[in-house]
Chains A and B, each alone.
Chain A
Amino acid sequence: MYSNIVLSRQWARLACVCRYMSTIEGQKLPQAARSSDGISPPPRIARSPTDILQALAATVGTDPSAAHYKYHDDPYLIPQSNYRKRSYALSAEAGRKAAAWIRDEHAELFTMREWDPPMKMKTPYFNADPQIEAFAPKPIYNDESKVTEEDLRYTIQNALLEDAIKVFELLGGVDNLNDELKLSLLQLLCFYNEKEPVSLEWLEERWFSAATRERQSTTWKLGGLADKIFTAMEPKTSEAYSAIIQGMAKYYQAERAHVLAQEAREQGIPLSTTVYNSLLGCVGFLKEGVTLRVEALKSILNEMNEQGLSPNSETLSACLRSISSWGSGKALQTVALQVVAECRQLGIAPSLSAYYYLLCLFCKEQGPRIDILTNIIADLENRESIEATQATDTNFFITAMGVCSDHLQDVNLAERVHALLMKGDNYKLVGDAYKESIYYRHLVTVTCKYAPFEKTTQLLDTLVPNIYVPEPSVMEEIIRTLEVGGAGDRLADAWSQLVVFGHAKRTKLVEKLLSALCNCYTYQDDEVKAKIRQAAADILKFGQLMEEREENEDRRSPTQKLSASALSNIVELCSDTQDKLDPNWSTVENAVQRLRDEQAAGVPARPQILADLAQKAATVGKPELAALAVTYLAECGFEEATAASVQTLGVMLNRPVEEVETLLQEQKASLATSLHPSALAVAQAYHIAKTGAPLHESESSSASSESDSESSSDDE
Chain B
Amino acid sequence: MLSRLRIRRDIKFFVRCLSDKPPEHDAKMPEVKAKDPKDEKKDGAESSTEKIQALLKLMMAEPQISDSEYRERFTTAPERPKKQKPDVIEVKMEKIEENITKAATEVAQAIGGNVKQTEAELLSRVLGKINQTTTTLSDLIVGMKVDRSRDAEETAPRETRGQQVKRLTEKARTVTQRPRYSPRQQTEEQMPKQRKSLAQANTIDIFSGEPLGIFKPQQVNYGTKLDVWEQLNQRELMLATSQPPANYFQKMIVWTEQGKVWKFPIDNEQGMEEEQNVHFSEHIFIDSHLEGWCPTKGPIRHFMELVCVGLSKNAFYTAKEKFDHIMWYKEYFESKQDVLKEIGVWELKPTSGTSEATT
Contact = CB atoms under 8 A, between A and B. Distances in A.
B238 A394 contact: no
Nearest to A301: B214
Contacts of A389: 237
Contact of B162 (A191, A310, A347, A607): A607
B181 interface: yes
Contact of B205 (A275, A375, A642): A375
A9 interface: no
Interface in B123-172: 128-129, 138, 142, 145-146, 149, 156, 160-163, 165-166, 169-170
A346 B211 CA distance: 10
Nearest to A392: B240
A519 B214 contact: no
Chain A interface, DSSP helix/strand/loop, else mixed: helix
18 contacts: A51-B264, A54-B249, A68-B244, A89-B244, A187-B228, A238-B223, A239-B226, A272-B226, A273-B222, A307-B223, A310-B222, A344-B211, A375-B207, A408-B201, A484-B128, A486-B128, A522-B142, A692-B161
Contacts of B74: 642, 690
Contact of A603 (B9, B169, B189, B221): B169
Nearest to B247: A60
A188 B228 contact: yes
Contacts of B191: 365, 406
Contacts of B192: 406, 409, 449
Interface string B251-263: 1111011111011
Contacts of A346: 215, 217
| 3 A-B pairs with least C-beta separation | A130-B271, A337-B209, A272-B223
A200 interface: yes
Contacts of A207: 243-244
B264 A388 contact: no
Interface stretch (A224-232, A424-432, A542-550): A424-432
Contact of A388 (B9, B206, B240): B240
Nearest to B162: A638
Contacts of A508: 177, 181
B34 to A, nearest CB: 24
B206 A184 contact: no
B220 interface: yes
B188 interface: yes
A581 interface: no
For chain A, give the interface size range: 35 or more
Contacts of A493: none
Nearest to A201: B258
B249 A305 contact: no
A62 B229 contact: no
A98 B225 CA distance: 40
A685 B229 CA distance: 83
Given A50-B253, A274-B229, A298-B214, A372 B243 contact: no
A50 B258 CA distance: 11
Contacts of B179: none
Interface string A501-517: 00000001001100100
A334 B226 contact: no
| Range for the number of chain B residues in contact with chain A | 35 or more
Nearest to B275: A129
B257 to A, nearest CB: 7
A373 B324 CA distance: 70
B221 to A, nearest CB: 6
Contacts of A109: none
Interface stretch (A99-107, A131-139, A527-535, A671-679): A131-139
B265 interface: yes
Nearest to B205: A375
A302 B215 CA distance: 8
A159 B215 contact: no
Contacts of B169: 601-603
Contact of B202 (A183, A239, A274, A370): A370
B239 interface: yes
A191 B229 contact: yes
A169 interface: no
B201 A370 contact: yes
B354 interface: no
B217 A53 contact: no
Nearest to B248: A69
B234 to A, nearest CB: 10
A362 interface: yes
Contacts of A312: 222
A204 B162 contact: no
B85 interface: no
Contacts of A184: 227-228
A206 interface: yes
Contacts of B238: 200
Interface string A360-377: 001001001111101110
A135 B226 contact: no
A572 to B, nearest CB: 11
Given A200-B238, A272-B223, A601-B169, A375 B244 contact: no
A246 interface: yes
Contacts of B173: 602
A511 B1 CA distance: 11
Contacts of B75: 690-691
A132 B259 contact: yes
Contact of B224 (A50, A238, A342): A238
Given A130-B272, A188-B228, A302 B214 contact: yes
Nearest to B142: A523
B160 A57 contact: no
B15 to A, nearest CB: 15
B335 interface: no
Contact of B229 (A246, A409, A690): A246
A370 B200 CA distance: 9
A700 interface: no
